[in-house]
Structure 1
Amino acid sequence: MDKKTILTMVLAGFLGLAQAQNNSTIAEHVKSATAISKVLGDGRKVATVILEYDAPISNRSLSPDSYEVEGKEVVGIYSNRTPETAANGTDGPYVVIEVKAEVDLDARPAPPTEAEMQEKKERDRMQGGPGLRAGWSTGGSDEYPGNAVVLQKKEIRTRTGKVYRADGNPIVTTVETCPVADRFTQEEFVSPYTGQTLPYNIFLPENYDPGKKYPLVLFIHDAGVASGPVKQPLYQGNGATSWAEPEAQARHECIVVAPEYPVITVDDNWNYSHHLDTTIALLKELQSRYSIDSKRIYTTGQSMGCMSSIVLMLKEPELFAGALLVAGKWKPELMGPLDRQNIWIISCEGDSSSNTLQGEAVAIWRQQGSDVSEATWEMTQTREELSEQADKMRAEGNHLLFTHLTGGNHRATWFVAYGIEGIQDWLFEQHR
């Protein structure tokens, strides 16, 4: 994590603390409490909590069980002179609590509430049958919270020896930051076809220069957050944020665009909504506002977003230089023309619908004379190991690639697929 970015955002959060305190609980001697989260494949998760005290805290007075963070595993506690993580603690007014934040390959969305079940029944009734339909909303109720509740369990001491006892009162974070997601800004685009508004998130490189040309990555979310808050595509997984991470930007500066669709854009009956035409119009409008390399526009998406990307490529075969298609599908016999485009497909073996139908599309491409690189990767490998596997596939030199992840399930595909350097490198190598 970029320490400069974290420090800046935490300090900025402290400046706005007075307003936040009206709705939160601050324990005696604690001036502020900040939760810093990061976005992983299975969504935003708090990684660090920083407590600002009214006096420097003795690092020696802290132990691994000085605090608990509700629902999270604490992996490190120390004090610091500045509100940031460090290799070693030092006396200072900030207590840094690091918590375990890693991908859970078995993560599932929260079960629907009774009210949500009733909403679903009403939607199904109005649609004329069960299941998702293009043009309808799912409710966008998936949540990826960025707050935390801390409990002090043992007494601690200031550098001068004053004792701060554990009083049992919860310390509720008053500031939430998510360094990479917070770099995106939120805008709206009015469809030239319907007049409806499409909200979207956009990321510009830190030192954006209008005199340079930048590639653009379009990320399309899955159905789980359709009609959710505009920032939800930034929190549901790292399909958008992985391209904006400091390490990724250091290798490939790019603009990232992540719309928040108000409805289902495609469905399993191969229907799609007018919002995909609006997306094409948005990309063309962005090209008039920003310095975008028209020969290096890329699309990617998971599940519904993957299917939407396929439709966009079929509708506009000259628009995209390459695509990363994650956990999606389309009618195989309609995908034949896509063998002329640069595509990397990723599916889990446990996602039989995506894996089977995408496999049938690949078979059609081969029948048409196209070479397709195909491999199976163990999905529990480290990010570095997965990147090495990607480099092996890249070395084959084909513009069509299909990766099967062992086991897994539909959602687990995007828990793994994004942020793999070898795949990112491949995508940015593609030019129209």
Structure 2
Amino acid sequence: MNKKTILTMILTGFLGLTQAQNTNTSSEHVKSATAISKVLGDGRKVTTVVLEYDSPISNKSLSTDSYRVEGKEVTRVYANNAPETTTQGTNGQYVIIEVKAEVDLQAQPKQPTQADLEKKKERDRMQGGPGLRAGWSTGGDDEYPGNAVVFQTGNIKTTKGKTYKANETPIESTEEKCLVADDFQQFEFISPYTGQVLPYNLYLPEDYDPNEQYPLVLFIHDAGVASGPVKQTLYQGNGATSWAEPEAQARHKCIVVAPEYPFITVDDNWNYSHHLDATIALLKDLQTRYSIDSNRIYTTGQSMGCMSSIVMMLKEPDLFAGALLVAGKWNPSLMGPLDKQNIWIISCEGDTSSNSLQGQAVEIWRKQGSTVSEATWDMTLTPEQFSEEADKMRAEGNHLLFTHLTGGNHRATWFVAYGIEGVQDWLFEQHK
């Protein structure tokens, strides 16, 4: 072997080593992966994934073809020197992957597996027998995940020119953050009647001052997440978080409380459980510990939560200053006394049961001499258009309002109802 051959082998080996050192799989260099989600009308959805690398990444080397996020549509990819979204990418050790997240008006709950059905059967058995009855644990299976799995599908470069090659190694989120929902605190309330625990989420304004009085909004979830983790009521839709959004707080600073019920609180046969008495006791307890304006306590809820609100308003007619009732119902023959309260009902035309029974209650109120504002809104309006329609109804000056959303279905009602500024503004205008 001559000197030229040896030199060629050494150079080839050196170049090969250099190339190997400068082309690596990206997952080896990802220090963390954070999935950031936001709660929309139909539940928590990931909006952004932040990958932290061990070296600054060249922004020019990135495109929407650089990554794939499992089950999601990538809309923007860029580098940044901070773990946050921005309008203009810049070189930095964070890669920001934005994904499409929007409300699906046709979204349906997860279909139960055989294991889910067996679990429900066992929960019912432990409660004393089969069937849906108030106080029975038949919910809790809906899921609203906040994680993400990312794949690098294109080569990317560091600012020093090193290439991190595309590969199929999954990059799973190491941390989850949920905007607004993470601002709620979790507590437990012991029912003074049964001694049972009622978990709940509490939001206090960022600059809460005990010397200032705040309105309070109570949100009650539907049966789909009953017996779920305490934060599930924050994730299933924006019935709780919409009031705590920065924009909403800027307009109407308030305290928000959202219980997570261990059991179904009401059913379609007009049965209700002692958990509603515990909820009333919780509100009265909160008034002793926080600076709450007792003349501005509001209740709202979807489906089971709407029905629960109606029951509490009948039981405690002087407790609430106003109510937003979404996709629910109650026995119309019992709702006559509610015509003295401030109520806005929202139902979908496709939700025959809610729309029909609430309509019967409205007719009873009219026969008793009350004036009710009534309107039908196109369900596909933009948020701004919804708010304009709400302002038209508010301008009529009535304390009873009934809005029908065109078409839709039971669940779709709350997919849009809680994001309407004009409806929120109406609620906060109400005083006892």
Q: TM-score, normalised by structure 1?
A: 0.92
Partner of 2:15: none
CA distance in 1, matches of 2:132, 2:406: 27
In 2, the alpha carbon distance for the partners of 1:83 and 1:124 equals 46
Checking the alignment, whether the CA contact within 8 Å between 1:300 and 1:309 is kept in structure 2 is yes
SS at 2:233 equivalent: helix
Code of the aligned partner of 2:416: V
Decide whether the 8 Å contact of 1:190 with 1:196 is kept in 2.
yes
- Which residue number corresponds to residue 166 of structure 1? 166
Confirm whether residue 259 of structure 1 aligns to residue 259 of structure 2: yes
Shift of 1:120: 3.8
Amino acid at match of 1:411: R
* Deviations 1:57-86 (CA, angstroms, capped at 9, x unpaired): 111101111000000000000001111111
Partner secondary structure for residue 201 of structure 1? strand
Structure 1 counterpart of 2:320: 320
1:312-337 per-position Cα deviation (integer Å, ceiling 9, x unaligned): 00000000000000000000010000
Residue 223 of structure 2 aligns with which residue? Answer: 223
Q: Give the corresponding residue for 2:13.
A: none
Moved more, 113-122 or 155-164: 113-122
Q: Is the 8 A contact 2:349 2:407 kept in 1?
A: yes
Distance in 2 separating the partners of 1:219 and 1:168: 43
Cα distance, 1:167 vs structure 2: 2.4
Q: Does 1:238 align with 2:238?
A: yes
> Where in structure 1 do 4 or more consecutive aligned residues deviate above 2 Å?
118-131
Q: How does 1:268-283 map to 2 (within 5 A)?
A: 268-283=268-283
Cα distance in 2, alignment partners of residues 426 and 228 from structure 1: 31
Q: How far, CA to CA, are the matches of 1:131 and 1:353 in structure 2?
A: 20
What amino acid maps onto 1:39 in structure 2? V
Q: Cα 1:50–1:107, aligned 2, differ >3 Å: closer, same or farther?
A: same
Residue aligning to 2:34: 34
Does the 8 Å CA contact 1:127/1:133 hold for their aligned counterparts?
no
1:9-408 aligned at under 5 Å gives the runs: 27-121=27-121, 131-408=131-408
Instruction: Tell me the distance in 2 between the aligned counterparts of 1:94 and 1:126.
Output: 50
The alignment covers a number of residue pairs equal to 407
Q: CA deviation at 1:127?
A: 7.8
Shift of 1:88: 1.1
Report Cα offsets for 1:23-48 as digits up to 9, x if no partner: xxx92111110000000000000000
Please report how far the alpha carbon of residue 419 of structure 1 lies from its aligned counterpart in structure 2 after TM superposition: 2.0
What amino acid maps onto 1:364 in structure 2? I
2:216 counterpart SS class: strand
Q: TM-score, normalised by structure 2?
A: 0.92
The alpha carbon displacement at 1:119 in A equals 3.5
Which residue of the partner structure matches residue 429 of structure 1?
429
Supply the AA of the counterpart residue of 1:380.
T
> What CA RMSD, in Å, does the superposition of the two structures yield over aligned residues?
1.3
SS at match of 2:27: coil
SS at match of 2:425: helix
Contact 1:243–1:419 (CA<8 Å) still a contact in 2?
Answer: no
Measure, in 2, the Cα distance between the counterparts of 1:88 and 1:132: 53
AA of the residue aligned to 1:46: V
Conservation of the 8 A alpha-carbon contact between 1:151 and 1:171: yes
C-alpha displacement of 1:129: 8.1
Alpha-carbon deviation of 1:166? 1.4
The one-letter code sitting in structure 1 at the alignment partner of 2:314 is: L
Residue 124 (structure 1) shift: 6.4
Say if 1:168 and 1:125 are closer, same or farther in 2 by CA, change over 3 A: closer
Conserved 8 A contact 1:45-1:144: yes
**Distance between the aligned counterparts of 1:268 and 1:130, measured in 2?**
15
Q: Secondary structure at the match of 1:77?
A: strand
Change (3 A) 1:229 1:125: closer
- State the SS of the aligned residue for 2:234: helix
State the percentage of identical aligned residues.
79
Contact 1:310 1:330 in 2 (8 A): yes
Distance across 1 between alignment mates of 2:334 and 2:128: 27
1 CA distance for matches of 2:98 and 2:351? 34
Moved more, 91-100 or 128-137: 128-137
1:345-377 deviation per Cα after TM superposition (whole angstroms, max 9, x unaligned): 000000000000000000000000000000000
Q: Per the alignment, in what secondary structure is the counterpart of residue 28 of structure 1?
A: helix
CA contact (8 A) 2:127 2:137 kept: no
SS of match in other structure, 1:410: coil
Match of 2:140, as an amino acid?
G
Give the residue type in structure 1 aligned to 2:258: A
